[in-house]
């Protein structure tokens, strides 16, 4: 039965990675894979010798001795546990994405464009590199990429130059998302799973992540294409909302408030995100001068309600949320949960620990050995450039049992977040950049991938050094 589940997972994963070749949206194989994996578990429950208790994080060796009813009860409890943890992530993402869409509804991101005054190509490269790095830590790397490339398209008219800028934005946005609990989906997963905390993420990963952005930016700035100045841009912000700046700072402040809310109340992050969304939505409704109708009793009220739905910033923003991505996360996370529940990931990690030799030894400088965990995490980073980093991080949650804020979890956050930059299809930021400016896969592989690889390796080395200090 375990072999069947693993085979289903591999086939589903191949379908996801070959999405463009098969012309099937990746959410479809993800959802089918999830359903089949759990169905096989339910039908063959008596054939499994052990079970992984995710709530207590230990392998139940006596699972085979339980009767059928007890096993099914445990399966239902485990399924509900994983669904609850997955729902926390999805609700959190829905809230964050809606706030960002509300900001965009008021053209809030145009405020950022007004701050960019330089015409130097090299200086603009550094400006957008740092903007992507810090903005992605606040509004997530995917959204930061969309916002900054949209602004770039109004400033840079040379297509070849625009591609280089977009390449750096992908690298910088992924690097910036790694050191913030709300900067990347995988980091958010680790944060919600109580594997990392906000302050330790900053301490461990800020410098390595910054190095990962700075090194490629420095090399890129030396290229001949960044010599000289840009062509003058035309100003097309005449229709900008008078509330754009206010909604930008309100929305960003509301998102930044979420980690503070968690620290103060000790409640799950999605609760704080819902509070932030509610506050932003109140101001959005007030500034849009719309009339909110909860129910429509008669025809007139119904017409008013439908009219409101067309111009309400909240309704408009909710309609722009990309639900296929949300359902994809549901399918892939619950599929990995199936492998974890059977103890497959736990056994895989244990076998790696036993078979792979240690490649280093401790020194009098208290240097930690570069052992199997480091190698696995580095491979995870490289793997995230080929396949989605969400299931890789989900798998790591089942493979390792280290306590919260162990350096391993921070290395996982760094590798999964930044490793995807090595290929244009390796991260959500890369995929959206590919679509917005039509970046060719092989152009990115030739021009940008080597820069991302250098940044990733230098950043990894920096992390291995700085972890001995903190």
Q: Which two tokens stand for residue 74?
A: 């445990």
pLDDT value, residue 355: 58
Sign (positive or negative) of CA dihedral 267, 271, 273, 279: negative
Contact 99, 280 (CB under 8 A): yes
CA gap 295, 425 in Å, rounded: 44
Q: Are 151 and 104 in contact (CB under 8 A)?
A: no
> CA-CA distance, 183 to 201, in Å (whole number)?
11
- The whole-angstrom separation of Cα 353 and Cα 368 is 16
Dihedral angle sign, alpha carbons of residues 400, 402, 406, 407 = negative
Alpha carbon distance 371, 358 (integer Å) = 5
Sign of CA dihedral 82, 87, 90, 96: negative
Rounded to an integer, what distance in angstroms lies between the CA atom of residue 323 and that of residue 342? 29
The Cα–Cα gap between 257 and 291 comes to: 28
Which residues lie across from 120 on neighbouring strands? 229
Distance of CA 136 to the CA centre of its chain: 10
Residue 408 confidence (pLDDT): 86
- Beta bridge partner(s), residue 59: 52
User: For the chain, what is the HEC assignment?
Assistant: CHHHHHHHHHHHHHHHHCHHHHCCCCHHHHHHHHHHHHHHHHHCHHHCCCEEECCCCEEECCHHHCCHHHHHHHHHHHHHHHHHHHHHHHHHHHHHHHHHHHHHHCCCCHHHHHHCCCCEHHHHHHHHHHHHHHHHHHHCHHHHHHHHHHHHCCCCCCHHHHHHHHHHHHHHHHHHHHCCCCCCHHHHHHHHCCCCCHHHHHHHHHHHHHHHHHHHHHHHHCCHHHCCECCCCCCCCCCCCCCHHHHHHHHHHHHHHHHHHHHHHCCCHHHHHHHHHHHHHHHHHHHHCCCCCCCCCCHHHHHHHHHHHHHCHHHHHHHCCCHHHHHHHHHHHHHHHHHHHCCHHHHHHHHHHHHCCCCCCCCCCCCCCCCHHHHHHHHHHHHCCCCCHHHHHHHHHHHCCCCCCCHHHHHHHHHHHHHHHHCCCCCHHHHHHHHHHCCCHHHHHHHCHHHHHHHHHHHHHHHHHHCCCC
Of 212, 211, 185, 209, nearest to 428 by C-alpha is: 185
**Token representation of residue 221:** 């700035």
pLDDT at 228: 80
Looking up tokens 């900067």 gives 183
> How does pLDDT run across 434-447, given as a tens digit for each residue?
777 878 778 888 99
Residue 84's nearest CA partner among 265, 311, 337 is 337
- The pTM of the full predicted model, rounded to 2 decimals, is 0.69
| Whole-number Cα distances in Å, 228 to 12, 122, 128, 149 | 49, 8, 17, 21
Determine the Cα–Cα distance for residues 12 and 9; give it in Å rounded to an integer. Answer: 5
Tell me the HSE value of 121 on the side-chain side, using a 13 A CA sphere: 20
- Tokens representing 342 are 């059977």
| pLDDT less than 50: residues of the chain | 290-309, 357-370
Q: What is the pLDDT of residues 398-429, one digit of tens each?
A: 677 788 888 888 898 999 889 888 988 777 78
């Amino acid at each position: 039965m375990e072999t069947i589940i693993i085979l289903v997972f591999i086939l589903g994963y191949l379908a996801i990675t070959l999405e463009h070749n098969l012309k099937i949206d990746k959410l479809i194989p993800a959802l089918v894979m999830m359903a089949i994996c759990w169905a096989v578990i339910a039908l063959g429950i008596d054939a499994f010798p052990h079970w992984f208790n995710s709530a207590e994080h230990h392998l139940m060796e006596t699972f085979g001795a339980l009767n059928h009813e007890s096993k099914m009860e445990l399966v239902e409890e485990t399924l509900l546990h994983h669904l609850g943890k997955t729902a926390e992530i999805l609700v959190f993402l829905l809230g964050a994405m809606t706030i960002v869409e509300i900001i965009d509804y008021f053209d809030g991101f145009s405020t950022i464009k007004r701050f960019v005054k330089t015409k130097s190509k090299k200086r603009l490269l550094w400006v957008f590199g740092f903007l992507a790095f810090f903005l992605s830590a606040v509004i997530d790397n995917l959204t930061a990429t969309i916002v900054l490339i949209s602004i770039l398209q109004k400033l840079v008219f040379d297509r070849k130059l625009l591609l280089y800028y977009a390449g750096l934005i992908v690298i910088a946005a992924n690097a910036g998302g790694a050191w913030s609990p709300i900067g990347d989906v995988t980091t958010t997963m680790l944060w919600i799973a109580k594997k990392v905390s906000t302050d330790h993420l900053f301490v461990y990963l800020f410098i390595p992540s910054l190095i990962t952005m700075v090194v490629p930016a420095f090399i890129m700035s030396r290229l001949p294409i960044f010599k000289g100045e840009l062509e003058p841009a035309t100003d097309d912000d005449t229709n900008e909302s008078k509330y754009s700046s206010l909604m930008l700072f309100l929305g960003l402040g509301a998102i930044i408030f979420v980690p503070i809310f968690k620290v103060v109340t000790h409640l799950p992050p999605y609760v704080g995100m819902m509070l932030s969304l509610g506050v932003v939505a109140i101001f959005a409704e007030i500034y849009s001068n719309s009339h909110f109708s909860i129910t429509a009793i008669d025809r007139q009220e119904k017409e008013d309600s439908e009219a409101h739905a067309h111009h309400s910033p909240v309704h408009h923003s909710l309609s722009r949320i990309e639900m296929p991505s949300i359902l994809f996360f549901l399918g892939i996370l619950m599929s990995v949960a199936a492998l974890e529940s059977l103890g497959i990931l736990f056994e895989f990690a244990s076998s790696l620990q036993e078979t792979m030799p240690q490649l280093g030894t401790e020194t009098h400088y208290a240097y930690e050995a570069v052992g199997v965990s480091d190698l696995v995490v580095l491979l995870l980073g490289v793997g995230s450039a080929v396949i989605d980093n969400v299931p890789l991080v989900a798998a790591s949650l089942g493979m390792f049992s280290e306590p919260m804020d162990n350096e391993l979890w921070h290395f996982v956050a760094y590798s999964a977040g930044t490793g995807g930059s090595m290929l244009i299809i390796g991260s959500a930021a890369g995929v959206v950049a590919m679509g917005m400016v039509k970046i060719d896969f092989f152009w990115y592989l030739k021009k940008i991938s080597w820069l991302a690889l250098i940044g990733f390796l230098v950043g990894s080395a920096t992390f291995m050094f700085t972890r001995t200090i903190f």
